[in-house]
């Protein structure tokens, strides 16, 4: 009997050996993940330190901003960047890939989508928004037509364990969130980039309505998104150039021609009346 128990124990240990080996490998692989989860951040979203504004006027200012990405600390993106955007102006950021357009947007604020219902995603802009306000915002953003065709309309869950909306559906929902919030500052990073021509036209019309009366910063590669800009910042040779525009129509500068000639599009922007080179951006 004793010999039988020992034999049974050996057999059990032999069968467990592969599982023990797999557990050891999994533990080793999980170590850096748990290390990352437990790492303290330099600035916490829940922190109550810092100055809280009672009212956001819409004035954006960058003063002597240095920036580089942690993964490429040797590459300086911004070196003493100074940028002043007046309240209520529409500013277009134009330039090639890697010129720092989206970085300027991200340094101001970064949006975080949630895997929840469409209604709650829109209400993220305003917690106490009523269904009437949500519906009105989706009408303005041209999102209501496809939302009405969803199984649970506004209660339809998106993301994980829900529907996977297309790029042409995600963007109008994000615009609806902005409309509900009625912000002083509106940041648009390629807001129509994932849309076909027909959808782009309707969404652009919605954006034109939303941009009125608020500070707006637009990152764009398409001329249709910058025609209404009051001020355009474009990257040329590693420097940001500021073109303030007053006239209604439409002559093209050499810099703009080189930027858009590959797209074979007509340059249809307001005429620059002066240009100022802003030091601070490394290509």
Say what the pLDDT of residue 9 is: 63
66 belongs to a structural domain? yes
The DSSP element (H or E) to which 67 belongs, if any, is strand 60-67
Could you tell me the residue range of the domain that residue 228 belongs to? Answer: 60-278
CB 103 within 8 A of CB 77: yes
Q: 3-state DSSP call for residue 161? A: coil
Q: Quick one: tokens of 62? A: 């960058």
95 belongs to a structural domain? yes
Say what the pLDDT of residue 246 is: 40
pLDDT at 64 over 70: yes
Per-chain mean pLDDT for the chain? 66
88 belongs to a structural domain? yes
pLDDT at 283 over 70: no
pLDDT at 194 over 50: yes
Mean pLDDT, rounded, for 61-68: 74
Mean pLDDT, rounded, for 32-56: 69
Percent of the chain at pLDDT > 70 equals: 47
Mean pLDDT, rounded, for 20-43: 79
147 belongs to a structural domain? yes
Residue 282: pLDDT band with limits 50, 70, 90: very low
Question: Domain with 141 in it: what CATH number?
Answer: 3.40.50.300
How far CA 102 is from CA of 3, 72, 197, 255, in Å, comes to: 72, 17, 23, 20
- Between CA 224 and CA 199, with CA 119 as vertex, the angle to 5 degrees is 25
52 belongs to a structural domain? no
How far CA 137 is from CA of 100, 148, 278, in Å, comes to: 31, 14, 37
181 belongs to a structural domain? yes
Say what the pLDDT of residue 241 is: 56
42 belongs to a structural domain? no
Residue 56: pLDDT band with limits 50, 70, 90: low
Which has more pLDDT, 121 or 47?
A: 121
Say what the pLDDT of residue 267 is: 32
Say what the pLDDT of residue 264 is: 35
pLDDT at 271 over 50: no
Mean pLDDT, rounded, for 189-204: 66
Which DSSP string do the residues of 96-122 spell out, in sequence order? -TTSSHHHHHHHH------SSBHHHHH
| Per-residue pLDDT tens digits for 205-262 | 777 777 777 777 777 666 666 666 777 666 655 556 555 454 433 344 434 444 444 4
| Per-residue pLDDT tens digits for 85-140 | 777 777 777 666 665 666 666 655 554 456 677 777 777 767 777 878 888 887 77
Say what the pLDDT of residue 275 is: 29
16 belongs to a structural domain? no
Total count of domains within the chain: 1
| Per-residue pLDDT tens digits for 134-162 | 888 877 777 777 777 777 787 777 766 76
């Amino acid at each position: 009997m004793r010999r039988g128990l020992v034999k049974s124990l050996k057999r059990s240990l032999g069968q467990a050996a592969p599982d023990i080996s797999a557990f050891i490998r999994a533990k080793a692989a999980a170590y850096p993940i748990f290390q990352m989860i437990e790492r303290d951040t330099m600035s916490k979203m829940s922190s109550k330190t810092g100055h809280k504004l009672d009212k956001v006027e819409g004035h954006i200012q960058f003063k002597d901003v240095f920036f580089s990405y942690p993964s490429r600390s040797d590459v300086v993106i911004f070196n003493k960047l100074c940028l002043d955007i007046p309240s209520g102006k529409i500013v277009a950021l134009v330039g090639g890939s890697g010129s720092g357009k989206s970085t300027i947007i991200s340094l101001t604020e970064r949006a975080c989508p949630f895997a929840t219902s469409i209604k709650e995603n829109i209400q993220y802009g305003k917690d106490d928004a009523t269904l009437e306000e949500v519906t009105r915002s989706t009408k303005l953003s041209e999102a209501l037509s496809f939302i009405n065709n969803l199984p649970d309309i506004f209660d339809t869950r998106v993301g994980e364990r829900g529907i996977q909306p297309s790029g042409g559906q995600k963007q109008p929902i994000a615009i609806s969130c902005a409309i509900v919030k009625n912000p002083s500052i509106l940041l648009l990073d390629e807001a129509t980039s994932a849309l076909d021509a027909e959808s782009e036209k309707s969404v652009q019309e919605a954006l034109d309505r939303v941009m009125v009366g608020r500070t707006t910063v637009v990152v764009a590669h398409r001329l249709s998104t910058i025609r209404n800009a009051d001020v355009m910042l474009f990257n040329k040779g590693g420097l940001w150039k500021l073109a303030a525009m007053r006239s209604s129509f439409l002559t093209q500068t050499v810099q703009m021609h080189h930027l858009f000639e590959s797209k074979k599009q007509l340059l249809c922007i307001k005429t620059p009346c002066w240009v100022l080179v802003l030091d601070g951006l490394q290509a």
